[in-house]
Structure formats: C-alpha cells, structure tokens
Amino acid sequence: MSSARSFSAEQDRLIVDGRAAGRSWTDIARDIGSTGKACQYRLSRGLGLHDPKVVQVGRRKERRDYDDPDEAQLKRPPLPAGDAATWQAITAGTLLDGRAFR
C-alpha cells in the first residue's frame, strides 16, 4: 500500500527553480527531503511542466559524415520510371507483385 506524497507550494517552487538553474534531481530532492524520482514526477505530472534542463542521455556519439545530397545525385543518373529493380522493391508484397510496369 503506497501513499501519495504531497508537496507544498514552497517545495514546488524549489523543484521548478532548481531545474531552471541546472541542478540535478538528487540535489533538489536532498533539499526538500524527498527522492529525485518523486521530484521528477511532481514537475511533469503534478505540475504539468516540462523539464527546462536539457539532458543528454548516454555517451556522445560522433557525427556521421553523410554525403552531400547534390554529390549523391552525381554518383549515378536517375533511373527511368518503372525500372525493374525499383518497381520490384515498391510492389513487393502488394497486389502488383510480379506484374510488369506499364
């Protein structure tokens, strides 16, 4: 049996101001005598606010080096309408599967 924790207006203000200042959930929770998860739920569900601190989860990934779209088009000429390879890819598993392009 769990009971819902109630937050005072002052605790709500500490949660909102703490996150806006970039403080961690653990630090905010320690100040108000609660848990970080309870503070997160209070902000998002109880107060209906979005977390103002942007948090990146996981390790930072290196940015992939994508081809420039203009260069990618220069690598091959466009295929004609109804090309066998593309028509088969488009129609596979449909009613048109196995039918020729007209």
Question: Is 0.85 surpassed by the pTM of this model?
Answer: no
List the single range of 21-25, 70-74, 89-93 with lowest mean pLDDT: 70-74
User: What's the mean per-residue pLDDT of the chain?
Assistant: 82
pLDDT tens readout for residues 74-85: 677 778 888 888
pLDDT at 34: 92
Four-CA torsion 37, 28, 30, 43, nearest 10 degrees: -40
